[in-house]
Structure formats: structure tokens, C-alpha cells
Amino acid sequence: MKKKIFALIDCNAFYVSCERVFNPKLNNKPVVALSNNDGCIIARSKEAKALGIKMGVPLFKVKEIVEKENVIVFSSNYTLYADMSRRVMNIISEFAPSIEVYSIDEAFIELTNMNVDYESYVRQMRKVILQYTGIPVSIGIASTKTLTKVANHIAKDDESLEGVCSLVKHENLDQVLEDTNVADVWGVGRQLSKKLIANGVFNAKLLKNCEDAWVRKMMSVNGLKTVSELREISCLDLEETSATRKSCCTTRSFGKPLVNLDDIEQAVTTFARRATERIRGENLTASTVSVFLRTNPFDRNRYYSNSSTTTLSYPTYDTMQIVKTALQLTKIIFRENYKYKKAGVLLSGFYEKGTETKDLFSEARYRSPKLMSAVDQINERYGSDTIQIATECQIGKWKQKRKNCTQSYTTQLDNVLLI
DNA sequence: TCTGGGGTCCTAGGACCC
DNA sequence: TCTGGGGTCCTAGGACCC
């Protein structure tokens, strides 16, 4: 069988890079971007990494370094990041016959049947992405997706490679794998790496040489795929057509703990509305609604967490219907005298709109599409959350912390920079 | 004081069937 | 003294990814 060729394009410190595009003064300075609610650090510039700031740490734990070293801190601006991502992905699409957008800052492409010199071809792509968007990327090339991940790490770590690393005709792949910690292999997370290391499997080369039966027992079927891919046997194809999703969840931590049912209902209403708007945008109806509530899990003294799920008597994308259901579920699981920190609404059991099983009353139920599409159009034009459900329309006590957020430079006309 | 959000997949175990 | 075998489906929990 002909060897396949994949490339993985990964934006460097993506959120930080987005901020730098619109504020070049940030170049060469330590910069970090935060998760929602200004909780954890989820993107770091090279300079911030060099200060020892780890991925995913809560901001308050590195406060000293941040203050002492003048680290510049941004609240996350997903509107901006999503739009910049779209631009990067569009450029990548022009360079490859097929693309899998794997996350907001990553994409796989397949180069198998392209009659080009892979390395110089992706270098050209890298140059164009930087020129058109200002976003620097790293690219790994290899014969399996798992190996492109390894290649990508090397491209990021070794500056002499100028952003591109190919393992396609690498003389000593085994040496590369030996230098790769087992925990850094794609598909090996915290728990698995602990187990593997306890069994003497420290690096990717040792993992590659494990027996299949042992791997199957240790890491289940997906582990077997990972190991095969380390052996240059491609098991994971490019997933171009994003399969219709199976669930859609909107969840937030609250800016401060909530005690009253009223306040929580307000938040749940917003979550249910947003989730419904999202599935409506994908032309799906949902048949199952779940709500969950929980207190702060870091405070074990008075911890409470619960969820409740119900199946609707018919699938719908009607905001009012889903909000009503979500509020009923909220009342079921709510308990007095707890400080709630987080809640969420999960929709699932999807149907493509129109493929639901019809019954005698279907027509009567579908009286809302016109109203829903009017709402969607208004929100599209004037900004999401322009039209809300009445219970949301007070000052939300649950609103998140977002101390230092930049503007929507690329999606709001009045936020466009003046030069 | 302060600890993200959004997904997918696999497995084990229980309920149920004949 | 002694209690089958083979199957499906569902769910909760745990693992992984970014």
C-alpha cells in the first residue's frame, strides 16, 4: 500500500498571536491569555513559557511572577480568535485538496497524491499564512497523523528548523521517538502515561515496540491505533466532513457563587437559549435536555453536584420549549443553602430538521420556525444576545469576570482600528 | 478571594430478553 | 446438594483531545 503523507499545521500560542496582530508592542514581551472567567492560563508566548508559567495553571497561582516580570494578561476574546482562525483555515484550504479543521488553532491536511516537494510546499503555505493574517504557525509532516504531532513538536522546539519538520524520509525515526516522552504522544494522557511509565515504557520508541496484546489490554483499541501509527501504519484518516455532532453543551462558571434559585434560573435560561441557537444554526432539533449544577469542587466541605435529564415528547429547536424544560430540570436538582459555582445545559438526541418522526400534532408544534428565524436574523445583524428571554433581562449576577479583553477588531465595524 | 469550556469514544455493569 | 447460556441495550464514569 502506498504510504500516505499528512501535515499538521498548528498556530503558535494562537490566542497570544491574535492579540499581537493588533498590538505589535506585545512582540518580544511575555504575554498570556486566560480561559473564561479569567480563571486559567491557556495560551503563553515564548517569553511567558521561559518564565516557567505552565499551561493551564490558575492565574492566582502565578500572580507573583506575573507582577514581577510584567507579564501582559488578556481575557479571552473568542470573537476575535474564531474569526482569525477562519482566515487561517481558509488559506490552508487553498493549499490542499482536503483539510480537517481539528481545533481552533490546528488543521490536518493530506498531501499524499500531490506532486510537490512537501517541505518547500508547506514552507510556502506558512509564509502566506503569516503574510495574510500575521499568525505564525508550525508544521509537521509525516506518514501518519500521530507522527505529524511528533514532527510538529519538534518544529516548535527547534528554532533552526524555521517552523517546519518532516519525518517522511527521516533517517533515524527511532532516535526521534526515543527522544519523545511517552506522555507527549498524541492519545496518551495523564492516566495512561502514569501506567505506561510504571511499566517501564518511558518514551515513544519503547511504546512502539510493545506487544499488541499488551497494548490492547493497557490502552484499549484506540491505544492500538496510536501504537500502529508510531510504526508508520496509518490508522487515522483525515476527517473532512465534520460528522453531525452528537451533543451541544453551554456551560459557564459564575463570576461569584450563587445561592438563590432565581439567579441560577437566569443563568440556565441563557445557557439553554444559546445552546438552542447553536443547534438551530446547524439545522438540528434536539430530543434530550440535561441540566447540571455544581458547587466549587475545590471546596470539598460542602460539595454538591447533580444533573437531571429528560427526553422531550418530540424533538424541537424552539428556544421557549427548551428553556421551559431546562428550568423544570433545574428545580428538580436545586438544593437550598449551597454556593453554586457552575451550571450547564446539554442538548442531545439530534435529528436533521424535518427528519423527525411526525405525528398527528406535528404541524401545530412547528408554528415557531418563523419566530425563531426572525430572532436569529436580528441577533445575526445586531449581535448575539440582542434578543433574550424575559427572565434573562436583569443584571446577571452570574456574569463572568473579564477584566482585560480586547475589542472585536475584525467583526465589529466600530471596533476596526483607525490608522 | 481566585481553579475553563466543549467535545468524542470506550468499558463495565446492570437490566432485560429468550 | 443444588441455580445456564447467549445476546442486546442503556447508562455512568473515566479516559482522551484542544
Q: Are A307 and A292 in contact (CB under 8 A)?
A: yes
Instruction: Give the nucleotide at minimum CA-to-C1' distance from A219.
Output: C15
The enclosing H or E element of A307 equals strand A305-316
- Residues of A (214-273) placing their beta carbon closer than 7 angstroms to any atom of strand B are 220-222, 243, 245-253, 256-257
Instruction: Give the nucleotide at minimum CA-to-C1' distance from A105.
Output: C18
Q: Are A57 and A99 in contact (CB under 8 A)?
A: no
CA–C1' span, A146 to C11, in Å? 31
Confidence at residue A204, expressed as pLDDT on a 0 to 100 scale? 97
Each residue's pLDDT, cut to its tens digit, for chain A (419 residues) gives: 679 999 999 999 999 999 999 999 999 999 999 999 999 999 999 999 999 999 999 999 999 999 999 999 999 999 999 999 999 999 999 999 999 999 999 999 999 999 999 999 999 999 999 999 999 999 999 999 999 999 999 999 999 999 999 999 888 999 999 999 999 999 999 999 999 999 999 999 999 999 999 999 999 999 999 999 999 999 999 988 767 889 999 999 999 999 999 999 999 999 999 999 999 999 999 999 999 999 998 887 788 988 999 988 888 999 999 999 999 999 999 999 999 999 999 999 998 887 776 666 665 565 677 888 888 888 888 878 888 888 786 667 788 889 999 999 998 888 999 88
Confidence at residue A33, expressed as pLDDT on a 0 to 100 scale? 97
Number of H helices, E strands in chain A: 14, 12
- Residues of A (62-101) placing their beta carbon closer than 7 angstroms to any atom of strand B are 63
**What is the rounded distance in angstroms from the CA atom of residue A401 to the CA atom of residue A410?**
23
CA–C1' span, A64 to B13, in Å? 48
Closest CA to A60 of A294, A267, A298, A397: A298
Task: List the nucleotides on chain C closer than 7 A to a protein CB.
Answer: 12, 14-18
What lies within 8 Å, CB to CB, of A220 at 6+ separation is none
Q: Are A258 and A296 in contact (CB under 8 A)?
A: no
Instruction: Give the nucleotide at minimum CA-to-C1' distance from A188.
Output: C16
Confidence at residue A381, expressed as pLDDT on a 0 to 100 scale? 84
> Residue A157's beta-bridge partner residues?
none
* Neighbour count for residue A396 (Cβ, 10 Å): 15
CA triple A339-A329-A343, angle to 5 deg: 40
The H-assigned helical ranges of A61-199 are: 63-68, 78-95, 118-133, 145-157, 173-178, 190-198
Confidence at residue A364, expressed as pLDDT on a 0 to 100 scale? 57
Confidence at residue A358, expressed as pLDDT on a 0 to 100 scale? 67
CATH architecture type of domain A248-392: 2-Layer Sandwich (3.30)
Confidence at residue A263, expressed as pLDDT on a 0 to 100 scale? 93
Residues in chain A: 419
Task: List the nucleotides on chain B closer than 7 A to a protein CB.
Answer: 1-11
Confidence at residue A175, expressed as pLDDT on a 0 to 100 scale? 97
The 3-state secondary structure of A357-382, one letter per residue: CCCCCHHHHCCCHHHHHHHHHHHHHH
Question: Would strands A137-142 and A164-166 be described as parallel, antiparallel, or unpaired?
Answer: parallel
CA–C1' span, A89 to C5, in Å? 55
Distance in Å from the first CA to the final CA of chain A: 56
For residue A27, give the 3-state DSSP assignment: coil
Closest CA to A149 of A108, A190, A178, A196: A108
Closest CA to A96 of A138, A125, A136, A120: A125
